[in-house]
Structure 1
Amino acid sequence: MLTRRQFSLMTVAGLAAGPGLASAQTLNDRMTGDVSPVHDPCIIKANGLYHVFCTSQMRAGKGLIHWRTSPDLVTWTFRGAVMPAFPGWVMAAVPETKGAWAPDISFSHGRYRLYYAASTFGKNQSVIGLVTTPTLDPADPAFGWKDEGLVVASMQSDDFNAIDPNAFVDADGRHWLSFGSFWSGIKLIELDPATGKPKPDAKRLAVAGRSRPSAIEAPFIIRRGDDYYLFVSFDFCCRGADSSYYTVVGRSKSVSGPYFDRDGTDMLRGGGTTVLRAEAGDRWKGPGHCAVLEDAGRHLIVYHAYDADNGGKPVLRIRPLDWTADGWPAAV
């Protein structure tokens, strides 16, 4: 990972600072309001508000897929939950599930698409589901989340895990869903743009993996110029201040890969250039499960980290991304 000193000595290309970038560089020090517990955040900007959705557990008693908004990325307000409970088909598919995991938000074909996963720890009997709404404004009469059903499923006999979805549209307008956790790594499948579900003849492609214990998950793809970037999380989350999670990235000329890290190692063989990682003595442990927002000429990396000074609680974190002269992202 680039240190601040190394980054300052390199020629930075790509994003102009843009209005507000200087203040955005101190977002994590300035953020207030309801920023915890936030785990596996995704983000979108709509109607002048930033919307964050995150993992939630049934035991919390606040519904599933928690929702927060902010007008400025600084002050955050809890807005409730997307679903009061799982639809029946989810509970039939994964009877032991205890929460909705790792949502992903996007807008397509006139509707906001919110993907989510249902599973149990350490097992790959999992489903990815989809809910949609035409607006994120609860005061709009058109507002309302609609269950669109199953997107992808995995069973214990499969060599992949259908969790951690991320939807993406490539330069040719083709729609894709990346997903995966442990097992044989990160997968990519082409979607029908109209439905947001896999095309009938779509093949499941492998884009990243690691050797056992295969600790890789949480893919997120962006495009910058002619390049595609695949962010993933390595190692272990969900252990509070003992979490070893960290975030890496690879780059490709094709959305389907191969993705290589800065040293030329294929992500299918464990490659990944570090973007976020806690060092010894850091307060914020296990920074990972990122989303990347392009906003007003800048990129922001949105993620969770565990607060070692507050019982290891997962907290929403946001940092700007700048770009090196040779086209690699660095959190600043």
Structure 2
Amino acid sequence: MKNLNKYLKLISISIFYLLILSISSCSGDDNLEPTPNPDPDPIVVVPETFPGPDYADDYTPIASWNDRSKWNLANVHDPTVAKDGDYYYMYQTDASYGNAHDGHGHFPYRRSKDLVNWDYMGAAFQAAPAWVKDSLNNKRARMNPALPPIENPDYGFWAPYIQKVGNKFRLYYSIVVTNPIVGTDTNTSWSERAFIGLAESDDLASNIWEDKGMVVCSEPDGLETYTRTGGNDWSGYFKFNAIDPSMVITPEGEHWLVYGSWHSGIAALKLNPETGKPYKLETIEDYGIKIAKRGNSRWQASEGPEIIYNEDTGYYYLFLAYDELSVAYNTRVVRSSNITGPYFGIDGGNVTEGAESWPMVTHPYSFNNHTGWVGFAHCSVFQNPDTKEWFYASQARLPENVSGINVSNAVMMGHVRSIQWTDDGWPVVAPERYAAVPKTDILEASMVGTWEQITMDYQYKVIQKSVNVSLTSNNKFSGGGVTGTWSFDSVNEIITINGNQFNVSDAWDWEASPRKTTKTYSGFTPTGRPVWAKKLY
């Protein structure tokens, strides 16, 4: 009986609570359901054994043509990248350590599914198109006085650019005639003109290209002659040097080719979207509008333009390679709300009128336990079409006279790096090469420790070195002769040091032995010099 009363009591209590719940549910919306409380995103813990890339930066033991299947990103120069299907495709200038590529076609290319592991595929072209020689000699015949044809031109195959347009891929490529215009000495005559051509493909995996002929060539404007008074005469004969093409499609659907190297600056040339070529080339004005220059001479240390449009910021960004390419090469970027400019730097300088370009996004540098990298510019800037992540790709070279490496400065390694954007809309290049390290939730506590930091200045051919800095648990910063405070925004993964903001990322420590995962931060000084750092411990 006692047990029965107990059960009856439990039943009564249950009925009471069911009645209360029933009344509560009737007093509101009959369809109202409780909002689930979603679990927060899980913290991804990167294992110490994360299988990041382990290939050597000194690839000279595998630099030969017979070892090309092992190259990965070895022997890269002036890359351009686009995605087709599951693969990213990278095309480039004819260049390799020891000229291993000679005799094996032009505009080498490779592909990758993850931007980390790349397979060398061969060459896009086997020979220069016949129109190059024909166009060259037609131009020479129309000069005043007319010049005889060059029967066997010497060619350079440089700096292509790949872009998807509709269902086709357009490959803009540079072919340079390296012969002097007259005679045999480039100290007494300028070299012949360069040409930008166009080829199209429906499928990059097929490597089948239909050549569409000339897009534009170097053209004199009549202000200088083609003769030179010596090796120090830099009064360039051609107005714009027709190499280093890049292309952008505006939000309004206009197509623009941006090109140029040294000479009088960088040009923007409007294209017919249907053909990928200019509407006309009848007068010197038809060869493009000058959108950037470095000073006012006819021989400016600026080239390799890469133009993009970022729909999130509403700006066109013009990346430029400054200085000579073997050591001093460094990357600058400026921006404009209009494709034809004016383009301004982070300091407000008008680069269309000749101001120096700031910020600088790459420069010769070294972290500890590595020779460092020089000749670090002439970039491709591209997006993952699915995630919309931005990436930077260029070559970087080992420094000159590295012990144990013959002609070490000819070692050209492809660098792919992620790009992040500052709050005020400037692109920041990652301190370490991309390795597909899984993203984790970065907490303030994980920022505490010893870091290696490089605060770069612009110094011609001088490698910028790192110093150790400390971030303490009581938010103090010290190192490199600087003290101050730091704070961390874990939502946006931004560290603020003495008022300057830097983007924080998971990364691969390429200089560690063995290599391992780490964290990095990168950003700019107030004057547009890059600051790169990686955590040591």
TM > 0.5? yes
Please give the secondary structure, in 1, of the residue aligned with 2:239. coil
1:267 to 340, 351, 356: 351
Quote the offset at 1:60 in angstroms: 1.1
Residue aligning to 1:137: 205
User: Is this contact kept in 2: 1:49–1:69, CA < 8 A?
Assistant: yes
Select 2:133's aligned residue among 91, 113, 117: 91
Which secondary structure does the structure 1 equivalent of 2:238 belong to? coil
The residue number in structure 2 matching 1:127 is 195
SS of residue paired to 2:395:
strand
**In 1, are the aligned partners of 2:305 and 2:321 still within 8 Å (CA)?**
yes
Does 2:410 align with 1:322?
Answer: no
Question: What is the rounded CA distance, in whole Å, between the counterparts of 2:337 and 2:255 in structure 1?
Answer: 16
Q: Give the Cα–Cα distance (whole angstroms) in 2 for the partners of residues 77 and 41 of structure 1.
A: 14
2:309 corresponds to: 223
Equivalents in 2 of 1:27, 1:186: separation in Å? 42
Question: Does residue 113 of the first structure (1) align with residue 155 of the second (2)?
Answer: no
Aligned counterparts of 1:210 and 1:249: Cα–Cα separation in 2: 13
* Contact 1:252–1:260 (CA under 8 A) maintained in structure 2: yes
Task: Return the letter of the residue paired with 2:344.
Answer: F
SS at match of 2:261: coil
Partner amino acid, structure 1, of 2:123: A
> Between Structure 1 and Structure 2, how many residues are aligned?
302
**For 2:287 and 2:130, how far apart are their aligned partners in 1?**
28
Name whichever of 289-298 and 203-212 sits farther off: 203-212
- Unaligned 5+ segments in structure 2 are 1-43, 56-69, 137-151, 179-189, 221-236, 431-537
C-alpha distance in 2 between matches for 1:100 and 1:203: 21
User: Which residue in the other structure is 2:429 paired with?
Assistant: 331
- In 2, the alpha carbon distance for the partners of 1:124 and 1:185 equals 18
Runs of 4+ in structure 1 deviating by more than 6 angstroms, as ranges, are none
Contact 1:179–1:186 at 8 Å: present in 2 too? yes
Asked if 1 retains the 8 angstrom alpha-carbon contact of 2:366 and 2:373, the reply is no
Contact 1:27 1:73 (8 Å CA) reproduced: no
* 1:305 is aligned to 2:396: yes
Q: Establish whether residue 198 from structure 1 lines up as the match of residue 278 from structure 2.
A: yes
Question: Which residue, out of 204, 207, 212, partners 1:148?
Answer: 212
Give how far 1:119 is off: 1.2
- Residue 343 of structure 2 is aligned to residue 255 of structure 1: no
State the Cα distance separating 1:99 from its structure 2 match. Answer: 2.7
Which of 69, 72, 76 aligns to 1:34? It is: 72
Secondary structure of the residue aligned to 2:133 is helix
Deviation by residue 1:43-88 (Cα, 9 ceiling, x = unmatched): 0011110100000169711101101001111111111111111111
Query: Partners in 2 of 1:248 and 1:72 — Cα distance?
Result: 27
Q: TM-score, normalised by structure 2?
A: 0.53
**1:170-249 alignment, distance < 5 Å:** 170-200=250-280, 204-211=288-295, 212=297, 213-224=299-310, 225=312, 226-237=314-325, 239=326, 243-249=327-333
DSSP 3-state at the match of 1:56: coil
SS at 2:374 equivalent: strand
User: How far apart are the structure 1 equivalents of 2:351 and 2:383?
Assistant: 24
Distance 1:185 1:197, change over 3 A: same
Residue-by-residue CA offset, 1:204-255 (whole Å, 9 max, x unaligned) = 1111111344011111111123111110100011x3xxx2111000011111
Residue 187 (structure 1) shift:
0.3
How large is the Cα RMSD of the aligned pairs?
A: 2.6
8 A contact 1:260–1:271 mirrored in 2? no
Distance 1:66 1:111 in 2: 20
Hey, what's the Cα distance between the residues in 1 that align with 2:129 and 2:205?
A: 23
Q: Does 1 or 2 have the higher relative contact order (CA < 8 Å, sep 6+)?
A: 1
Q: Say which structure is richer in strand.
A: 1
Using a 3 Å threshold, how does the CA distance of structure 1 residues 233 and 28 change in structure 2: closer, same or farther?
Answer: farther
Deviation at 1:93, TM superposition (A): 4.3
CA gap of 1:215–1:27, structure 2 versus 1, over 3 A, is farther
* Deviation digits for residues 86-129 of structure 1 (CA, Å, limit 9, x no counterpart): 11122344553333100000111321110111115673611001
Tell me, in whole angstroms, the C-alpha distance in 1 between the residues paired with 2:105 and 2:378. 21
TM-score normalised by length of structure 1: 0.84
The 1:96–1:305 alpha-carbon spacing in structure 2 relative to 1, beyond 3 Å, is farther
1:159 counterpart SS class = strand
The Cα shift of 1:135 comes to: 0.8
Decide whether aligned partners of structure 1 residues 30 and 151 sit closer, same or farther in structure 2, where only a CA change above 3 A counts: farther
